[in-house]
Structure 1
């Protein structure tokens, strides 16, 4: 699985002009299931992100996790993270999981994160979404499991 995790002051996702999910103070997670991925990768990624220490403590150091601060997660599927630009200028997405597998793994990841005590809001799998965020820091972390 591939993921981009951004520390945000706020984030929302809209479909056809209507906000379907929003959070304050937490992380926006853009996620892509890759061919061959299983629920095990989703569980591992959820565990890593729930413990990722990217929030400031009282001394101003990034020492606190999403769980420590009581933050929320907005999880948005983004198959374009699988984009391969090694040949030419048009990215190829053949390494992304097929849509059925991608949706199943996306939903599994969100459920795993919820099961770890993180309040999770989600986008709409397969929809044309508009994501609005205020990146805090900025802090952006890449995962490729």
Structure 2
């Protein structure tokens, strides 16, 4: 799995005119991409890593501050730009594989105690955020092997 974690003062996801996910207070915006080899183990490990990551003020973690998390699926994190000008998405898992894993990741965060808001999988989403710091971290579980 590949994620981009951003410390934010506020964030929201809108589909059409409906706000489908919103952080009620400062927290983390997490963009999540799923690859072909990802499974429940990566979801659980990634949830633990993000919930404990000390990137909030005074080196606190989201778990220390009970900071909310907004999770947005983003297959484009697996874009390959090696050849030509058009990105290839072949390294991203297809929707029927990735959607349940993104939801599993959200549930793993909730099991750890996180308040989790979600985007809408597969929708044309408008994501708004006010970055704090800015602090943005890229995590790829393939790098852990």
Both proteins in one fold, TM over 0.5: yes
Alpha-carbon distance in 2 for matches of 1:30, 1:121: 12
Question: RMSD of aligned C-alpha atoms?
Answer: 0.6
Normalising by the residue count of structure 2, what TM-score does the alignment of the two structures yield?
Answer: 0.95
1:82 to 70, 78, 81: 78
Query: Which sections of structure 1, spanning at least 5 residues, go unmatched?
Result: 58-62
- How many residue pairs match? The answer is 140
Shift, 1:17, TM fit: 2.1
Give secondary structure in 1 for the equivalent of 2:120.
coil
User: For 1:19-56, what per-residue CA distance to the aligned partner results, in whole angstroms no more than 9, with x for missing partners?
Assistant: 11100200000001101111100111000000000011
More helix by share: 2
Alpha-carbon distance in 1 for matches of 2:96, 2:11: 27
1:114 paired to 2:115: no
Alpha-carbon distance in 1 for matches of 2:39, 2:65: 29
Show the counterpart of 1:32.
Answer: 33
Runs of 4 or more off by more than 4 Å in structure 1?
Answer: none
Normalising by the residue count of structure 1, what TM-score does the alignment of the two structures yield?
Answer: 0.95
More strand by share: 1
Alpha-carbon distance in 2 for matches of 1:69, 1:9: 13
1:101 to 91, 97, 100: 97
Alpha-carbon distance in 2 for matches of 1:121, 1:133: 14
